[in-house]
């Protein structure tokens, strides 16, 4: 696949499309006597969230307003994920709901994008069963959204735009509608070259391509000046950042540069691959007080035989060496992981090795998955699929072990007073606020006294010391002692 950087001429075309759409939606708003609205529904990972923030930013540049009630939006975008089967079920289930809305509002535009659109079967299904979907495009064409939307409106026909080129565009190309006060998402690279046999991402997101070091640092400085206290550096595999770039910069250089920017209280990153993580990244976590003391490192299996079958080029011993170094150097840090149960060919012996690896590493938490076939991946055609009842039984044993480890990790926090970044008020429990420690432990807390309403409304993104009083399996409870940011 060709990797193409957007040129100034490309950007000019998209800006012209933005301007034309702004006029179109301005006239539409005048005709309707109300604001034209939009909604972006996001499925999947933080990179999808980041893409949705860009799409929202473009729509707001066109003059649209986010939907604020139960009404149907005039422009609906569904940004999809192809990693898990249930994401597909959710997409097609939700798409059916909008059929009658589209009939009632002829001006409504429905677009579907994201990783699922790189799977030909999904695109064919939309063509066949959802003719009222107006626009389909893939993640690599995100930056062409204005011209694609304009062409869709002009033609009044379904437009499918799925290409073979992998585009890379700096994030200063368009406005970004950042959805959170406490965290800014910053992709530093796109795509993946690993081709794990169970994973659709390299086919959906394309080959690895890195943004320029200078553009990333420039964006980070802007974010800090805007008052964001936490930044999350994103990529399918951030540790392979810079491969193919001429300046020789690595992920460690990006990470350290972010930690040196005044204003950031937290610098995080997702995701890491064991084959590319080096000790310098862990040393930065150790040495910089604003580097988050949390390493998410996907194990997937404790069996070397299965790791080879998954095309994961490391052994369990190599993984343990990374975990040991992290535990030794980053005091009070948390180690989290991903694990797949029931990968084709998994025997009871293989699974026991996974349990032993989990026990050895003592993960603070884990995302655990039952293997599901992803069309287009090598593992989907493997003959030795594990029976579902066996997978379920093994999955239960893994959860029992990991839940116990997570609870012990949370129990170790009881009695400590730690700084948290406040993420907001709980939607389920009035008077309860949530935040995370520097080690990414989830904290639910109360305020010591009823504060003024303006203080309560302004807590998101603030820093405060919380005394941790009680542990739960997936979180800890405490009480705010004081704010630490003035």
Q: What is the pLDDT of residues 86-144, one digit of tens each?
A: 667 778 888 888 888 998 888 899 999 988 888 888 899 999 999 999 999 988 888 88
In this predicted structure, what is the pLDDT of residue 167? 67
Sheet holding 294-296, edge to edge: 294-296, 334-341, 365-370
In this predicted structure, what is the pLDDT of residue 171? 53
Query: For residues 186 and 223, is the Cβ–Cβ distance under 8 A?
Result: yes
Sign of CA dihedral 276, 277, 278, 284: positive
* CA atoms within 13 A of residue 436's CA, in its CB half-sphere: 21
Looking at the chain, which residues constitute the CATH 2.40.50.140 domain(s)? 417-483
In this predicted structure, what is the pLDDT of residue 220? 96
Give this prediction's pTM.
0.91
Q: Does domain 417-483 have CATH number 2.40.50.140?
A: yes
Rounded-to-10 torsion of CA 463, 464, 465, 471:
-90
With tokens 């699922």, the residue in question is 116
Q: Does domain 3-168 have CATH number 3.30.43.10?
A: no
CATH architecture of 293-410: 2-Layer Sandwich (3.30)
338 beta partners: 367
Integer Rg of the chain from CA: 23
Q: What is the pLDDT of residues 214-248, one digit of tens each?
A: 999 999 999 999 999 999 999 989 999 988 788 89
With tokens 């964006």, the residue in question is 219
CA distances in angstroms from 287 to 255, 291, 293, listed in the order given: 12, 8, 10
Distance of alpha carbon 309 from alpha carbon 197, whole angstroms: 7
Looking at the chain, which residues constitute the CATH 3.40.50.12160 domain(s)? 3-168
In this predicted structure, what is the pLDDT of residue 95? 87
Distance of alpha carbon 481 from alpha carbon 288, whole angstroms: 25
In this predicted structure, what is the pLDDT of residue 1? 45
Which residue in 270, 258, 274 sits closest to 49, CA to CA?
Answer: 270
Task: Please list the ranges in the chain whose pLDDT falls under 70.
Answer: 1-5, 84-87, 164-165, 167-173, 450-457
For residue 270, count CB atoms less than 10 angstroms from its CB and return exposed for 0-12, middle for 13-18, buried for 19 or more.
middle
Looking at the chain, which residues constitute the CATH 3.30.750.200 domain(s)? 293-410
Distance of alpha carbon 460 from alpha carbon 382, whole angstroms: 48
Q: Does domain 183-270 have CATH number 3.30.750.210?
A: yes
């Amino acid at each position: 696949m060709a990797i193409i950087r957007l040129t100034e001429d490309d950007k000019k075309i998209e800006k012209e499309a933005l301007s034309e759409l702004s006029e179109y939606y301005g006239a539409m708003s005048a005709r309707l006597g109300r604001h034209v609205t939009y909604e972006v529904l996001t499925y999947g990972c933080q990179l999808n969230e980041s893409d949705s923030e860009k799409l929202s930013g473009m729509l707001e540049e066109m003059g649209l307003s986010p939907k604020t009630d139960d009404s149907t939006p005039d422009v609906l975008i569904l940004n999809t994920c192809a990693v898990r089967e249930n994401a597909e079920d959710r997409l097609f289930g939700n798409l059916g709901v909008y059929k009658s809305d589209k009939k009632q509002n002829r001006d409504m535009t429905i677009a579907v994008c994201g990783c699922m659109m790189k799977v030909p079967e999904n695109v064919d299904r939309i063509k066949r069963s959802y003719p009222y979907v107006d626009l389909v495009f893939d993640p690599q064409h995100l930056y062409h959204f204005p011209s694609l939307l304009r062409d869709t409106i002009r033609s009044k026909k379904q437009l499918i735009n799925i290409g073979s080129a992998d585009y890379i565009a700096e994030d200063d190309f368009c406005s970004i509608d950042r959805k959170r006060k406490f965290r800014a998402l910053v992709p530093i690279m796109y795509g993946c070259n690993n081709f794990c046999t169970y994973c659709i991402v390299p086919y959906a997101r394309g080959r690895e391509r890195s943004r320029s070091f200078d553009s990333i640092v420039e964006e980070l400085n802007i974010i800090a000046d805007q008052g964001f206290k936490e930044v999350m550096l994103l990529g399918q595999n951030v540790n392979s950042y810079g491969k193919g770039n001429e300046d020789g910069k690595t992920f460690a250089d990006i990470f350290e540069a972010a930690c040196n920017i005044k204003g950031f209280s937290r610098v995080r990153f997702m995701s890491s691959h064991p084959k590319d993580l080096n000790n310098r990244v862990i040393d930065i976590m150790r040495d910089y007080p604003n580097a988050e003391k949390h390493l998410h490192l996907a194990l997937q299996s404790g069996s070397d035989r299965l790791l080879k079958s998954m095309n994961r080029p490391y052994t369990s011993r190599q993984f343990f060496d990374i975990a040991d170094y992290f535990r030794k150097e980053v005091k009070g840090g948390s180690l989290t992981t991903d694990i797949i149960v029931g990968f084709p060919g998994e025997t009871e012996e293989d699974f026991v090795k996974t349990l032993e690896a989990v026990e050895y590493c003592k993960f603070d938490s884990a995302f655990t998955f039952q293997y599901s076939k992803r069309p287009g991946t090598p593992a989907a055609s493997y003959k030795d699929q594990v029976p579902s009842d066996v997978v379920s039984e093994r999955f239960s044993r893994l959860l029992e072990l990991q839940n116990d480890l997570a609870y012990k990790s949370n129990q170790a926090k009881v009695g400590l007073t730690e700084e948290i970044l406040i993420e907001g008020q709980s939607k389920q429990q009035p008077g309860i606020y949530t935040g995370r420690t520097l080690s990414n432990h989830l904290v639910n807390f109360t305020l010591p006294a009823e504060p003024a309403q303006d203080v309560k409304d302004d807590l998101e993104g603030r820093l405060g010391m919380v005394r941790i009083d009680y542990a739960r399996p997936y979180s800890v409870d405490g009480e705010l002692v004081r704010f630490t940011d003035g």
